[in-house]
Structure 1
Amino acid sequence: MGTRLKVLSAFKALHRTRMAVFKDDDAALTAARLKINEEFRKNKNETEEENIKKMIKMGSDVEVVLRETVIQMEHKGNNTLLLRPRESLLLENVPYCDQPRKES
């Protein structure tokens, strides 16, 4: 795959992940969109192949971190938070189980 397609693929993956991770949070969706677009715009004139590969790698690493570690929380009152984890973050935390695990 050409470098241009890899850059566009990383850009799209970041935006798809942003939409899933910050679902129903307009402020976070907007901030993430602006930051992604700003970083890609800032480096759009880069021609050094090695630097482009490093930036693509960084973008894919950021996408993985967002997808696997960010959890939404909402303030509900004094000292109260509502946790809204995505289905993909809910892991079975049982060291041994006689029953086979549900395939995902």
Structure 2
Amino acid sequence: MGSRLKVLEVFKRLHRTRMTVFKDDNRALTAARLKINEEFRKNKHETSEENIQQMIKMGSDVETILRQNVLQLEHVGENKLLLRPRESLLLENVPYCDQPRK
């Protein structure tokens, strides 16, 4: 696949991830959109294939970090926050057991 297609794929994945990670938070959605677009626009005229591959890897890493590590919190009171985890972040917490479940 050409590097142009890879760049567009990373761009689209970042925006899709932005939409799920910052769901219902217009300020964060806008800030993330502006930052993603700014970074891609800034490097629009890059011609070095090596630099392009490094930036594609960095974009993929950022997308993975956003998807796996960012939690959404909402202020609901003076010293209270409401955690709104995504389904993909909720893991079953099962202690280790040598015996298989029945």
Q: TM-score, normalised by structure 1?
A: 0.92
Corresponding position of 1:67: 67
SS in 2 for 1:37: helix
Corresponding position of 1:12: 12
The 2-side partners of 1:21 and 1:37 are apart by 17
Residue 99 of structure 1, CA deviation = 3.9
Matching of residues 1-104 of structure 1 within 5 Å: 1-96=1-96, 98-99=100-101
The 2-side partners of 1:2 and 1:62 are apart by 21
Which runs of 5 or more residues in structure 1 are unaligned? none
Q: Considering only aligned residues, what root-mean-square deviation do their CA atoms show, in Å? A: 1.2
Number of paired residues?
Answer: 100
Residue 92 of structure 1, CA deviation = 1.2
SS in 2 for 1:91: coil
Residue 35 of structure 1, CA deviation = 0.1
Residue 96 of structure 1, CA deviation = 2.9
Identical columns (%):
77
Q: TM-score, normalised by structure 2?
A: 0.94
